[in-house]
Amino acid sequence: MTTDIRDIPEAHVDRALDLAHLAFHAKVGDATRKRQRELLLGCERVGAYEDEEIVGFTAAHRLGLSVPGGELPVAELDFVSVAPTHRRRGVLTGMIGELWRRCAADGRPLACLWASEEAIYGRFGFGPATEAYNVEIDSTRPLDLRITPDRRPLRLLDPAAAVPVIAPLYEASRARRSGRLSRDEAWWRWSVRSDGEDDDDNDNDGPKRVVVLGDKGAPAVGYVTYRVGEKGTVTVGELEAADAPAAAALWSYLASIDLTRKIQAWTVAPDDPLLHFAADRDQVRVTGQWPAMWLRLVDVAQALTARSWAAPVDLVLEVRDATLPANAGRFRLTADPSGAVYEPADGPADLALDVRELASCYLGGTPLRRLVRAGLAEERTPGAARLLDAALETEYLPFTGD
Interface residues toward ligand COA, by CB under 6 A: 23-24, 80-82, 87-93, 113, 115-117, 119-120, 123
Minimum distance from residue 401 beta carbon to ligand COA (Å): 17
Minimum distance from residue 288 beta carbon to ligand COA (Å): 18
- Is residue 274 a contact partner of residue 282, using CB atoms and an 8 Å limit? no
Minimum distance from residue 13 beta carbon to ligand COA (Å): 18
Tell me whether residue 27 or residue 88 sits nearer to ligand COA (CB atom).
88
Minimum distance from residue 129 beta carbon to ligand COA (Å): 15
* Whole-angstrom distance, CA of residue 362 vs CA of residue 365: 7
Minimum distance from residue 78 beta carbon to ligand COA (Å): 8
Tell me whether residue 82 or residue 292 sits nearer to ligand COA (CB atom).
82
Tell me whether residue 294 or residue 331 sits nearer to ligand COA (CB atom).
294
Minimum distance from residue 15 beta carbon to ligand COA (Å): 15
Tell me whether residue 25 or residue 141 sits nearer to ligand COA (CB atom).
25
Tell me whether residue 115 or residue 255 sits nearer to ligand COA (CB atom).
115
Tell me whether residue 94 or residue 245 sits nearer to ligand COA (CB atom).
94
